Amino acid sequence: MPRTAAGKTLLVVGDSLSAEYGLARGQGWVALLQKRLAQERVDFKVVNASISGDTTSGGRSRLPALLREHRPQVVVLELGGNDALRGLPLAMTEANLLEMARRSKAAGARVLVAGMAVPPNYGRSYGESFMALFPKVARAEGAALVPFMLAGVADGPEAETLFQPDRIHPKAEAHPRILDNIWPALKPLLR
């Protein structure tokens, strides 16, 4: 649904971390974001175009139609984790995120890149290179950055208790913390 003359649109293009995988509807950070916007009287409608299992290639192919349909003022790019879990080349992930940020900006949107990390069993070098690509994309495109959206969730002392049995997807009680990680970088883009 295109935005109305008065309202503004925030588009989230993500994977299962934003698509409420394993959660009851309304418990994920994106749904919590819509509630926070309402509480703070920020006139934005949130469109959650996240798909569990999506990669940066999938997001890149879907983005042009999403931009045309929703005409967002802000785009949150929360993709890359599935690329890493599938062992896809980091250069491809980076190129896809760069192109998504460029297309979003060309459509008039401000962009936030949500960074991710991989489990330590992927090796230190791969893990560091993967985490470094998110700030690199944000710098290159002048986008806002959340270095690690699961900070305090995946790397905190109670990490074991904050994840579903698959140890990949956070439980509902972790999603307010995820939103708290994203909010400081996102809020300035909403002005």
Q: Is 43 a catalytic residue?
A: no
Residue ranges in the chain assigned as alpha helix (H):
29-39, 56-70, 81-85, 90-106, 124-141, 175-186
Q: Is 166 a catalytic residue?
A: yes
Which residue is catalytic, options 15, 16, 18, 83?
16
Per-residue DSSP letter, 170: B
The closest of 179, 151, 186 to 32, measured between CA atoms, is 179
Spatial neighbors of 2 by CB under 8 A, at least 6 apart, are 69, 70, 71
Which residue is catalytic, options 52, 57, 129, 169?
169
Spatial neighbors of 121 by CB under 8 A, at least 6 apart, are none
The closest of 99, 78, 96 to 19, measured between CA atoms, is 78
Q: Is 70 a catalytic residue?
A: no
| Residue 69, number of CB atoms within 10 A of its CB | 15
Structure tokens at 12: 């989230």
Active site residues: 16, 166, 169
